[in-house]
């Protein structure tokens, strides 16, 4: 046994966690993740400082770059909110990716079936697409919600399996029924179903030229406010939080967990579906393969990093949007995913700081503890 | 389409699910849910393939895969057993981390040819009528290992003393602790073993079943199917093996149905258009959901299933479970 002059004393927190600490652990986790990822990058022979410098320029270096970052942040905000709502109830909706795809599919129905006349006015087309997108996502959330409520089927696996089903479902329509002259994409939608972009106003305001930011970002901001209100101010939100914190107490209070499981899954799905709609109506303007580079999964990390707080979701989404923009331009392609994995790991490990106080004290003869024992 | 071919291929691909799900069963029986199987599988597939490529020895690849995935799983053990963090979130991050690491470190492996595991006949048994050609002919050694492994693990869990300790730690850690069983050490150990087995399963993909490195498509969600299988099998290794082989055979049958080939001597009536294959590809995922519904209903009816302490961190001297 080596005797160090200092020893690490770990004791349970008895007092309130300082208000700044949760946010500090989030920031610290991001920093730590970049450091560790830098070591991996150095290991495979890249210069991490160069890579990160490139990242910074490609994402915040100019108005055009920043606009691209916000465009990528838009679906992340919506999906991050979708995950936050569900996770608040300890309902593990890992299916935002599939709900995103089905939302995009349903929104496309408006244009491609077509459900509305192809020359319909934008004020009709866009709300219809929004409604359909949310409906599709809600439906894709309803299925696992029903199975969970009715048969106690683990929602993690069902939502995940439905992700694969959703992608295959979209592929059938893209490759077969709606294929544009044999290409693996549908024809481009008419301009009346495009979300307005800043560059559309470049004639009046030349500064906007080339900026791709579209109206969808306001969907995200509005949804964040709505989710905040639901969770913090409404009776429903109170039920969601109570079920998440203490299902036993919720049951005694006469709250139906089964009903809430279904409704929360649908709300969560609707938010992810709206993200899918915003992406095809605001960015790609048609339905095609790989409309999401894993937004649904990144949303999980976004929600967690934001500590399930809607305002935090917006800030974290911008950071992760930047990560997506940057990683499009570098090889190997897994860098963003690796950094995300490290961020999440550092973050959940740091939770221990919220529950325990760790202090350096002058060596006091402490009995050797059990590995892993903190009490 | 030929029944013998389908069953034969089913055993080969089912072996992947067999090892991955039995590894998960061991971790879960000790009380630790590890949702990181997909990440461990992918890291194992990458490590196995790249080491075999570098050394020319597939067995070194298998060893490296088991070590890599085992080490990755230790991250989950530290976070959930020592730091008592939420097992669901930690498992998910393990999947992200494993996938990300595998994609970054596996950069440039696509299109390479590594030394693969040899296929061989089991002399004697291969001569058996009907069974021989399906079970004992032209398989990789991992498949034969799987036949022995499932019953051995079942025996270990249900009939031996260390197996009893494993169950005690997963069902009632407080009682196990009083008996003098080291709850923390056992949980660390079984999470690690589970990780090693996932690594073995991953290397089986890249060095035998579908040789090569195809980034995230290498595993295409089989880690998640393995987790679903654990629930379907109600944490029983023998049922898991059976489910794994059935799933494997089904995957192969679906592959055959997608083409305009003949079906049992007739032209395939299910072949309308090659794009209908997308619907057939959904079947394994939908069946996993169905298997879960069946497994969950049986668990509800018989009041058995998940280890009682699954997902609960053990904190000595606090609330007893």
Contact list in A for residue B88 (CB cut-off 8 A) is 92, 156
B202 preceded by a cis bond (ω within 30 of 0): no
Structure tokens at A115: 């459900």
More confident of the two residues B310 and B317: B310
B217 touches chain A (CB under 8 A): no
pLDDT tens sequence across B94-120:
998 899 899 889 888 888 888 899 988
- pLDDT of A88 above 50: yes
A206, burial (CB in 10 Å: exposed 0-12, middle 13-18, buried 19+): exposed
pLDDT band at B321 (very low <50, low <70, confident <90, very high): very low
In a domain, B231, yes or no: no
Contact list in A for residue B293 (CB cut-off 8 A) is 147, 151, 153
Lowest mean pLDDT, pick from A22-26, B143-147, B239-243: A22-26
pLDDT tens sequence across A269-285:
999 999 999 999 999 99
Report the SS3 class of residue B266.
Answer: strand
pLDDT at B250: 87
In a domain, B185, yes or no: yes
In a domain, B181, yes or no: yes
Residue B120: beta bridge partners? B139
Q: How much of chain A exceeds pLDDT 70, in percent? A: 93
Query: In total, how many domains does chain B have?
Result: 1
pLDDT band at A193 (very low <50, low <70, confident <90, very high): very high
Which member of A151, A338, A342 has the closest CB to residue B297? A151
Q: Cβ B103–A337 below 8 Å, yes or no?
A: yes
Lowest mean pLDDT, pick from A202-211, A256-265, A359-368: A359-368
In a domain, B8, yes or no: no
Q: Across residues B114-138, what is the average pLDDT?
A: 85
- pLDDT of A15 above 80: no
Asked whether the beta carbons of A302 and A80 are under 8 A apart, the reply is: yes
The residue behind tokens 């993200």 is A275
pLDDT tens sequence across B262-305:
555 556 656 667 777 888 889 888 988 998 888 887 766 665 56
Lowest mean pLDDT, pick from A16-30, A217-231, B2-16: A16-30
Lowest mean pLDDT, pick from A140-154, A202-216, B294-308: B294-308
Instruction: Count how many pairs of residues, chain A against chain B, have C-beta atoms within 8 Å.
Output: 168
Q: Across residues A86-103, what is the average pLDDT?
A: 95
Q: How much of chain B exceeds pLDDT 90, in percent? A: 51
Number of Cβ atoms within 10 Å of the Cβ of B95: 26
Lowest mean pLDDT, pick from A74-83, A198-207, A264-273, B192-201: A198-207
Q: Cβ A168–B279 below 8 Å, yes or no?
A: yes
B294 touches chain A (CB under 8 A): no
pLDDT at A9: 67
Evaluate the CA torsion angle B274, B279, B285, B290 in order and state its sign: negative
> Structural domain of residue B215, as residue ranges?
14-224
pLDDT tens sequence across A105-122:
999 999 998 898 888 899
pLDDT band at A372 (very low <50, low <70, confident <90, very high): very low
Number of Cβ atoms within 10 Å of the Cβ of A146: 17
Residue A130, φ and ψ in degrees, nearest 5: -60, -45
**Closest alpha carbon within chain B to A184:** B275
Q: Which of B278, B295, B302 to mutate to probe the A interface, most A CBs <10 Å?
A: B278
Cα–Cα distance for residue pair B264/B258, rounded to 1 Å: 14
Q: Which of B81, B82, B105, B289 to mutate to probe the A interface, most A CBs <10 Å?
A: B289
pLDDT band at B196 (very low <50, low <70, confident <90, very high): very high
ipTM for the assembly: 0.85
- pLDDT of B220 above 80: yes
Hey, what domains does chain A have and what are their CATH numbers?
64-309 (1.10.3470)
Contact list in B for residue A14 (CB cut-off 8 A) is none
**Closest alpha carbon within chain A to B79:** A349
Q: Cβ B285–A161 below 8 Å, yes or no?
A: yes
Q: Cβ B184–A160 below 8 Å, yes or no?
A: no
**A residues 164-183 closer than 8 Å to B (CB):** 164-165, 168-169, 171-172, 175-176
Asked whether the beta carbons of A196 and A214 are under 8 A apart, the reply is: yes
Cα–Cα distance for residue pair A366/B237, rounded to 1 Å: 43
Asked whether the beta carbons of B196 and B69 are under 8 A apart, the reply is: yes
pLDDT tens sequence across B230-245:
988 889 999 999 999 9
Cα–Cα distance for residue pair A25/A29, rounded to 1 Å: 6
pLDDT tens sequence across A215-251:
999 999 999 999 999 999 999 999 999 999 999 999 9
**Closest alpha carbon within chain B to A144:** B289
Q: Are strands B266-267 and A6-12 parallel, antiparallel or unpaired?
A: unpaired
Asked whether the beta carbons of A67 and A214 are under 8 A apart, the reply is: no
Tell me how close the Cα of A97 comes to any Cα of chain B, in angstroms: 14
Lowest mean pLDDT, pick from A16-20, A131-135, B7-11, B50-54: A16-20
In a domain, B318, yes or no: no
Tell me how close the Cα of B125 comes to any Cα of chain A, in angstroms: 38
The residue behind tokens 């959940």 is A348
- pLDDT of A373 above 50: no
pLDDT at A44: 83
Q: Across residues B46-60, what is the average pLDDT?
A: 95
More confident of the two residues B171 and A2: B171
More confident of the two residues B306 and B144: B144
B93 touches chain A (CB under 8 A): yes
Q: Cβ B286–A339 below 8 Å, yes or no?
A: no
Give me the helix-helix angle, B3-29 and B161-171, nearest 10°: 70
pLDDT at A340: 81
pLDDT tens sequence across A314-363:
999 999 999 888 877 776 667 877 888 888 888 888 877 777 777 777 76
Evaluate the CA torsion angle A234, A240, A244, A250 in order and state its sign: positive
Q: Across residues B59-72, what is the average pLDDT?
A: 97
Residue A150's nearest CA partner among B50, B292, B99 is B292
Tell me how close the Cα of B142 comes to any Cα of chain A, in angstroms: 27
pLDDT band at B46 (very low <50, low <70, confident <90, very high): very high
């Amino acid at each position: 046994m080596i005797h160090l002059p200092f020893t690490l004393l770990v004791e349970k927190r008895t007092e309130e966690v300082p208000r700044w600490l949760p946010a500090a652990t989030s920031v610290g986790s991001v920093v730590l993740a970049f450091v560790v990822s830098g070591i991996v990058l150095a290991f495979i022979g890249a210069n991490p400082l160069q890579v990160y410098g490139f990242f910074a320029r490609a994402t915040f270096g100019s108005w055009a770059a920043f606009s691209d970052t916000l465009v990528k942040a838009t679906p992340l905000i919506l999906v991050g909110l979708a995950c936050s709502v569900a996770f608040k109830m300890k309902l593990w909706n890992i299916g935002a990716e599939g709900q995103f795809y089905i939302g995009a599919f349903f929104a496309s129905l408006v244009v491609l079936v077509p459900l509305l006349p192809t020359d319909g006015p934008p004020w009709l087309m866009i709300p219809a697409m929004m409604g359909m997108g949310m409906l599709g996502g809600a439906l894709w959330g309803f299925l696992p919600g029903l199975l969970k409520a009715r048969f106690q089927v683990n929602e993690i696996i069902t939502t995940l399996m439905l992700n694969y089903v959703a992608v295959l479902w979209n592929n059938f329509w893209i490759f077969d029924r709606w294929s544009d002259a044999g290409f693996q994409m549908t024809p481009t939608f008419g301009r009346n179903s495009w979300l307005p972009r800043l560059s559309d106003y470049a004639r009046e305001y030349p500064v906007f030229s080339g900026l791709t930011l579209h109206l969808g970002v306001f969907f995200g901001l509005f949804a964040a406010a709505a989710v905040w209100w639901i969770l913090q101010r409404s009776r429903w939100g109170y039920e969601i939080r109570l079920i998440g914190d203490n299902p036993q107490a919720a049951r005694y209070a006469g709250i139906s967990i089964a009903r809430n499981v279904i409704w929360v899954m649908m709300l969560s799905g609707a938010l992810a579906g709206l993200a899918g709609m915003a992406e095809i109506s605001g960015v790609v303007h048609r339905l095609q393969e790989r409309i999401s580079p894993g937004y649904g999964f990144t949303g999980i990390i976004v929600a967690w990093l934001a500590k399930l707080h809607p305002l935090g979701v917006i800030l974290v989404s911008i950071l992760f949007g930047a990560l997506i923009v940057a990683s499009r331009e570098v090889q190997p392609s897994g860098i963003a995913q690796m950094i995300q994995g490290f961020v999440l790991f550092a973050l959940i490990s740091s939770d221990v700081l919220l529950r325990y106080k760790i202090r350096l004290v002058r060596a006091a003869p402490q009995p050797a503890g059990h590995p892993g024992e903190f009490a | 389409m030929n029944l013998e071919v389908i069953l034969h291929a089913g055993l080969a691909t089912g072996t992947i699910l067999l090892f991955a799900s039995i590894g998960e069963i061991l971790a879960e029986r000790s009380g630790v849910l590890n949702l990181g199987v997909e990440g461990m599988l992918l890291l194992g597939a990458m490590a196995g393939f790249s080491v075999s490529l570098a050394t020319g020895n597939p067995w070194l690849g298998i060893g490296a895969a088991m070590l890599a995935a085992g080490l990755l799983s230790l991250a989950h053990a530290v976070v959930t057993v020592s730091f008592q963090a939420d097992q669901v979130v930690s498992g998910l991050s393990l999947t992200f981390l494993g996938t990300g690491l595998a994609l970054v470190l596996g950069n440039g492996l696509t299109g390479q040819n590594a030394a693969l595991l040899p296929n061989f006949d089991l002399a004697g048994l291969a001569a058996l009528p009907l069974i021989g050609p399906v079970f004992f002919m032209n398989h990789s050694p991992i498949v034969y290992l799987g036949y022995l492994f499932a019953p051995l693990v079942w025996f270990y869990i249900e009939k031996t003393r260390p197996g009893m300790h494993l169950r005690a730690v997963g069902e009632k850690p407080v009682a196990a602790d009083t008996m003098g069983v080291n709850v923390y050490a056992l949980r660390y150990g079984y999470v690690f073993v589970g990780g090693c087995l996932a690594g073995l399963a991953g290397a089986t993909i890249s060095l035998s079943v579908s040789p090569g490195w195809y980034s995230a498509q290498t595993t295409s969600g089989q880690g998640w199917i393995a987790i679903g299988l654990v629930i379907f099998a109600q944490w029983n290794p023998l049922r898991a093996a059976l489910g794994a082989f059935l799933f494997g055979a089904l995957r192969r049958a679906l592959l055959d149905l997608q083409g305009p080939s003949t079906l049992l001597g007739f032209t395939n009536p299910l072949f309308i258009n090659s794009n209908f294959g997308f619907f057939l590809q959904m079947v394994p995922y939908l069946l996993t959901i169905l298997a879960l519904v069946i497994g969950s209903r049986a668990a509800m009816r018989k009041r058995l299933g998940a280890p009682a302490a699954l997902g609960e961190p053990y904190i000595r001297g606090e609330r007893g479970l």
